[in-house]
Amino acid sequence: MEAEVDKLELMKNPVTLLKELSAIKSRYQTLHARFEPAAVEQKETKRRICATVNKTINMIQKLQRQTDLELTPLTEEEKTAAEQLKSHMPDL
């Protein structure tokens, strides 16, 4: 109990709070620098996947038009998969 009281008293000290804030800011900057390249790579990968999927869809549609192929309706599983893909990649 006494340790908790000491901790609360320290938290009321503005100097202690500024030191804590400085430490948190430093940790954030370190984490940001560490994970920023991964975030950039993830964005680029997502962009490439969307472009590939869009090209594939366009190619399939073009082939369907050229061959007058009638499509069967999507199954529930296919509809769910398409919805999930669109929710994760709105650029599609």
pTM above 0.75, yes or no: no
Q: 87: which 2 tokens?
A: 């929710």
Q: DSSP string covering the chain, please?
A: -HHHHHHHHHHH-HHHHHHHHHHHHHHHHHHHHHHHHHHHHHHHHHHHHHHHHHHHHHHHHHHHHHHTPPPPPPPHHHHHHHHHHHHH-TT-
Kindly report, residue by residue over 29-69, the tens digit of the pLDDT: 999 999 999 999 999 998 999 899 889 988 988 888 888 87
- What's the pLDDT score for residue 92? 64
